[in-house]
Amino acid sequence: MSQEQLTLEAIQKGELTAIDALKKFGCFRLAARIHKLRQKGHDITSTLKIIRNKRIAVYSLEKESK
């Protein structure tokens, strides 16, 4: 399974950070995988959070309102 597919599966289950992606499936360039998924039409949001005095991007799928 490609890193792009693994990334999509992970964010479908919840939030994902670069550290999570590195630990879970060896992805060093999460932002590049997210960029490709966005180009394919996935509505992925990124939120900056501060964790241990560092800004971390947290990615998730935008929830569709019904």
> Can you give the C-alpha Rg of the chain in angstroms?
12
The amino acid occupying position 48 is L
Nearest alpha carbon to residue 5 among 39, 33, 28: 33
Would you say residue 64 has pLDDT above 80? no
pLDDT tens across 13-57, in order?
999 999 999 999 999 999 999 999 999 999 999 999 998 899 999
Is 46 within 8 Å of 65 (Cβ atoms)?
Answer: no
Please report, for the chain, the start and end positions of each structural domain, with discontinuous segments joined by +: 3-61
Nearest alpha carbon to residue 10 among 1, 38, 19, 20: 20
